[in-house]
């Protein structure tokens, strides 16, 4: 599926950008696997397995060894395709298990309809105060309150192709997203809403804001990876499903 | 296996995983009531339960488990 490839390419390009950050200390780029890591940081804690299409054991063995040396993230994502069961059995043999499934979704931006509730004030994050507010929401909703290295996002903010969006309700920061334009496609990441403010349409509104902004700059396509709980909201916006990704984790306290 | 048989065994696993000997679970106990029951500790918990009861849960089971009652129901369907 072309749309899944767009998603994978956008995600990888974002990680390559992250790799340029001073706060990221380790890059693993081997056998079609790609990961960027910083010490004691919960983001970006994922190894991208999108480009691994050869089913041989050696790339996996190299990866497993690197996991033990803490040179690569113990979280790894693959497309669900005809090779997934072979990959899964190799991973299982080495203590990994599937922990999450994301659905690849895309939308043609010329099909967007303009709508806002007016209840949410959405701003672009361009200063330290807003960045701290953005990070607080993301940490609380996506990372069990573990702190994220600010430096990575300070650098991302400076990139013309990246926008961090923050939604305020009654002057309180409640929802976020990150948009990244690459090859005329906008990828949306970290779409999150604080628990107490869910089911109010805020996730939909901040997603649309990021899409309108990209569309106004001539971007034609939007892509994202939806968690199970988010799929319906994205369908209502007009996103279509194109396949699935599965995330595996090497189970163990030392690998959190 | 009945809930009364499973619950005490499950309780011991909870105590071990969350390193808290005071934990007393009921079918209604959810992540809100157990300190550190976050998404990653949830996976550790389920892996320990799998080892103890010699069962294997699917990803779907994992995602649908929101409280102890859900875990018990999934466990009962696997053990029978």
Quote the ipTM score. 0.84
For B44, the closest of A101, A144, A253 (CB atoms) is A253
Task: Please state the pTM of the whole predicted model.
Answer: 0.91
The mean pLDDT value of chain A amounts to 92
User: What's the full length of chain A, in residues?
Assistant: 256
CA distance A179 to A207: 9
Pick the residue from chain A with its C-alpha nearest to B46. Answer: A251
The mean per-residue pLDDT over the stretch A2-7 comes to 94
pLDDT digit string, tens, across residues A196-208: 999 999 999 999 9
For A251, the closest of B44, B59, B63 (CB atoms) is B44
pLDDT digit string, tens, across residues A182-193: 999 999 999 999
Pick the residue from chain B with its C-alpha nearest to A246. Answer: B59
Q: Do A100 and B43 touch (CB under 8 A)?
A: no
CA distance A185 to A66: 32
pLDDT at residue number A40 = 63
Asked if pLDDT for residue A149 goes beyond 90, the answer is no
Pick the residue from chain B with its C-alpha nearest to A253. Answer: B44
Chain mean position to CA A23: 18
A113: confidence class by pLDDT, cuts 50, 70, 90: confident
Q: Do B59 and A249 touch (CB under 8 A)?
A: no
Q: What is the helix (H) or strand (E) element at residue A17, kind and residue range?
A: helix A2-18
A246 interaction partners in chain B (CB closer than 8 Å) = 59
Instruction: Report yes or no: A221 and A187 within 8 Å, Cβ to Cβ.
Output: no
B38 interaction partners in chain A (CB closer than 8 Å) = 144
A195: confidence class by pLDDT, cuts 50, 70, 90: very high
**Domain residue extents for chain B:** 3-79
Chain mean position to CA B5: 14
Share of chain A above pLDDT 70, in %: 97
Share of chain B above pLDDT 70, in %: 99
Least confident of A81-90, A159-168, A225-234: A81-90
**Residue B61 Cα distances to B17, B29, B36, angstroms:** 19, 17, 21
Fold assignment, B3-79: 1.10.1200
For A101, the closest of B43, B44, B59 (CB atoms) is B59
CA distance A255 to A111: 43
* Cβ-proximal residues to A117 (8 Å cutoff; 6+ apart), any chain: A201, A205
Domains annotated on chain A, with CATH: 2-103+245-255 (3.40.630), 108-237 (3.40.630.30)
B62 interaction partners in chain A (CB closer than 8 Å) = 98-99
Asked if pLDDT for residue A65 goes beyond 70, the answer is yes
For B43, the closest of A101, A228, A251 (CB atoms) is A251
Pick the residue from chain A with its C-alpha nearest to B61. Answer: A99
pLDDT digit string, tens, across residues B26-69: 999 998 899 889 888 999 999 999 999 999 999 999 988 989 99
Please, what's the largest Cα pairwise distance for chain A?
A: 54
Pick the residue from chain B with its C-alpha nearest to A247. Answer: B59
Candidates B63, B64, B66: best to mutate against A (most CBs of A within 10 A) is: B63
Asked if pLDDT for residue A145 goes beyond 90, the answer is no
Q: What is the helix (H) or strand (E) element at residue A79, kind and residue range?
A: strand A75-79
Look-up of token digits 């089971």: B61
pLDDT at residue number A143 = 85
Asked if pLDDT for residue A22 goes beyond 80, the answer is no
Q: H helices of A148-230, where? A: 150-157, 202-216
């Amino acid at each position: 599926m072309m749309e899944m490839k767009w998603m994978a390419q956008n995600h990888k390009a974002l990680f390559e950008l992250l790799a340029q950050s001073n706060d990221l200390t380790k890059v693993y780029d081997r056998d079609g696997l790609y990961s960027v890591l910083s010490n004691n940081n919960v983001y970006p804690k994922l190894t991208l397995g999108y480009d691994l299409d050869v089913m041989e054991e050696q790339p996996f063995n190299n990866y497993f060894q690197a996991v033990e040396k803490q040179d690569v993230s113990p979280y790894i994502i693959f497309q669900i395709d005809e090779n997934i069961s072979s990959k899964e059995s190799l991973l299982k043999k080495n203590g990994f298990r599937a922990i999450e499934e994301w659905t690849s979704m895309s939308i043609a931006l010329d099909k967007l309809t303009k709508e806002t509730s007016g209840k949410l004030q959405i701003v672009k994050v361009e200063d330290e105060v807003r960045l701290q507010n953005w990070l607080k929401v993301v940490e609380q909703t996506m990372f069990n309150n573990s702190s994220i290295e600010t430096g990575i996002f300070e650098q991302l903010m400076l990139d013309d192709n990246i926008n961090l969006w923050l939604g305020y309700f009654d002057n309180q920061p409640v929802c976020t997203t990150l948009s990244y334009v690459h090859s005329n496609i906008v990828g949306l990441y970290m779409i999150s809403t604080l628990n107490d403010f869910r089911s109010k349409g805020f996730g939909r509104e901040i997603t649309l804001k990021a899409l309108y902004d990209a569309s106004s700059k001539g971007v034609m396509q939007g892509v994202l990876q939806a968690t199970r709980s988010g799929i319906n909201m994205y369908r209502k916006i007009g996103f279509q499903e194109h396949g699935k990704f599965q995330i595996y984790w090497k189970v163990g306290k030392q690998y959190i | 296996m009945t809930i009364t048989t499973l619950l005490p065994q499950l309780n011991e696993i909870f105590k071990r995983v969350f390193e808290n000997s005071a934990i007393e679970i009921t079918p209604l106990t959810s992540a809100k009531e157990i300190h550190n029951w976050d998404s990653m500790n949830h996976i550790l918990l389920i892996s320990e339960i799998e080892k103890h009861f010699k069962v294997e849960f699917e990803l779907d089971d994992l995602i649908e488990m929101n409280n102890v009652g859900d875990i018990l129901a999934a466990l009962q369907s696997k053990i029978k």
